[in-house]
Amino acid sequence: MSNKPVIVFEGIEGSGKSHHINIVSKYLKKKKISFFKIREPGGSINSEKIRKLILSKKSNFNPNTDLFLYAASRSENIDLLRKFYKKKVILVDRFVDSTIAYQHYGLGVNIDLIKTINKNILSGFKINFTFLNIVNHKNMLKRLKSRKSLNRYDNFNKNFYNKVQNGFIKLSKINKTKYKIVNSNLDIKLNENLIIDKVKKLIK
Ligand code: TMP
């Protein structure tokens, strides 16, 4: 029987994570491998409602409130994630590392609070592998410019995104065997192949 891993795609805005998750989805579809794909914040009906609230440009919540809202959005997804856990390949567009990178490294929220909340929400749900997409500021801005609409989290300054990306990199170093850093400043096809090769090994 093949493996049914939980695979997470992380990275700052414009890092190409959503592109790569779509490439992996297409590959799994082609191979007729059942999978479940979800994004955070969002994904389930209730979580999408929370997404709208957090990311609306009209919102101006403080960093702790953002943490609680991102956590609320995850809490609304966890039953769905559990339903498919170890039954289907699960692809997640952002997860706990995003909360630590943005809310702690970016906005200074207490890391222990973030860990405690997530430990309670996740209890026993484990990630098998994370693709961390990294991008330089110039390319990030170029990709954001081509988007139809921008949200409240697309408008921070360069220093903020540097802190967030460095935070992601720090997290990836804690357990190197469970992360692959994808340099999105390099050739996109090269990265697609690299990711698919790793996915093949993960689901074998
Ligand atoms: P997206 O652009 O990938 O859809 O993500 C929406 C924004 O939400 C993005 O700027 C990252 C941010 N975010 C957090 O700040 N904390 C979190 O826990 C998650 C999941 C996302």
> Under a CB-based contact definition with an 8 Å cutoff, are residues 152 and 54 in contact?
yes
Per-residue pLDDT of the chain (204 residues; tens, 9 = 90+): 579 999 999 999 999 999 999 999 999 999 999 999 999 999 999 999 999 999 999 999 999 999 999 999 999 999 999 999 999 999 999 999 999 999 999 999 999 999 999 999 999 899 999 999 999 999 999 999 998 899 999 989 999 999 999 999 999 999 999 999 999 999 999 999 999 999 999 999
How many other C-beta atoms can be found within 10 angstroms of the C-beta atom of residue 51? 19
> Where are the strands (E) in 6-165, listed by range?
6-11, 35-39, 89-93, 129-134
Question: How many domains are there within the chain?
Answer: 1
| Structure confidence by residue, pLDDT tens digits, 154-169 | 989 999 999 999 999 9
How many other C-beta atoms can be found within 10 angstroms of the C-beta atom of residue 142? 12
Q: In terms of residue numbers, what domain contains 166? A: 6-198
Can you give the pLDDT at residue 95? Answer: 98
Q: What CATH number has the domain bearing residue 155?
A: 3.40.50.300
CA-CA distance, 5 to 101, in Å (whole number)? 23
> Under a CB-based contact definition with an 8 Å cutoff, are residues 81 and 121 in contact?
no
Within 8 A by CB and 6+ apart from 178, the residues are: 127, 128, 129, 130
Helices and strands (DSSP H and E) totals, the chain = 8, 5
- Which numbered atom of ligand 1 lies nearest the CA of 54? 8
Can you give the pLDDT at residue 148? Answer: 86
Give helix 45-55 / helix 63-84 axis angle, nearest 10°: 160
5 alpha carbon – ligand 1 mean position (Å): 22
20 alpha carbon – ligand 1 mean position (Å): 16
Residue 203 lies in a domain: no
Using most ligand atoms within 8 A of CB, pick from 38, 91, 94 the residue to mutate for ligand 1.
Answer: 94
Residue 151 lies in a domain: yes
Can you give the pLDDT at residue 1? Answer: 58
CA-CA distance, 169 to 89, in Å (whole number)? 25
The neighbouring-strand residues paired with 89 are 35
| pTM confidence score | 0.97
Residue 204 lies in a domain: no
> Under a CB-based contact definition with an 8 Å cutoff, are residues 70 and 99 in contact?
yes
